Amino acid sequence: MPPISPFKIAAIQMVSGPVVQENLAAAEALIREAVGQGARLVGLPEYFCIMGMRDSDKVDVREQDGTGPIQDFLSRIAAELRIWLVGGTTPLQCADPGKVRNACLVYDERGQRVARYDKIHLFGFQSGEERYDEAASIEAGDTPVAFDSSYGRIGLSVCYDVRFPELYRAYAPVDLVFVPSAFTVPTGRAHWEVLLRARAIESLAYLVAPAQGGTHPSGRQTWGHSMIIDPWGSVLACRDSGPGVVIAEINPQVISEARAKLPALDHRKLHRNKAL
């Protein structure tokens, strides 16, 4: 494969609601805005297609793997705009009829699906009246997923996964890591940026974190601060709150230079911890 030239990448920030078609329309407008700014690889946030009034709402709109309006949308827009699209997460059917797999689906410029990653680590949090238990409506995945693309090797993760560095170590070396997310405000304020920068630094890779960012119809508040981070841990671009596009240039030479200066990946003594 010939060397990859610098290219633009975009992280889409949304404030999704309970109506799938409205969210798809909002996502399409933002994707088109990103492509208009030159992005060739675009990432959507976790739950881009639905942030329901109840956790069970995503179960009601779950799709069979490979077919359904959400998956059709992702395939269509990737093919139409000739981009690679990391589709945030889509609720897919699983063995338990009361739960879904929270799946990150990736499509190439032909609209062909090239990867599926099911969120492994499920968020649980309680502080005062704020409480979350993803395991009540989501079946956890169990398989890390990295794949080769026209823009380098990409590792996939989702939101709460970012707290588990062993997942990212299993991917190394990769060129890009995606972390589509819907972080809460309390945990986001305290930990979001430092976790993302740590994962980029230890991977010596670019990290792209498209996020939900604002107050949703259910009253839930998400932290936002979608960002793109370089292999040295510098934040190249960030959007605090509200729908919008975060865009930056990715330069493969920067990855090579960072790994030449600090060959930490070559210095590892413990490789590929299987306990994710």
Q: Which amino acids are annotated catalytic? A: 46, 119, 159
H/E stretch holding 201 reads helix 193-203
Provide the residue type at 164 as one letter.
F
Q: What is the strand order of the sheet 152-156 is part of?
A: 146-149, 152-156, 176-178, 206-209, 226-229, 235-239
Residues 6+ away with beta carbon under 8 Å from 257: none
The two structure tokens encoding residue 207: 């990290």
Judged by DSSP in three states, 228 sits in: strand
Contact yes or no for 16/47 (Cβ under 8 A): yes
Instruction: With both helix axes pointing from N to C terminus, report the angle between 20-36 and 69-81 in degrees, rounded to the nearest 10.
Output: 10
For the record, the structure tokens of 190 come out as: 């305290």
Instruction: Report long-range pairs for 133-137 (Cβ below 8 Å, ≥24 apart).
Output: 134/55, 134/102, 134/160, 136/55, 137/55, 137/56, 137/58, 137/59, 137/98, 137/99, 137/100
- Closest listed residue to residue 165, CA positions, set 127, 194, 208, 140: 194
Structure tokens at 40: 């060739």
User: If we measure between CA atoms, which residue out of 44, 54, 67 comes closest to residue 208?
Assistant: 44
Helix (H, G, I), strand (E, B) or coil at 175: coil
Q: 250 vs 129, 134, 201, 211, CA distance in Å?
A: 41, 33, 15, 19
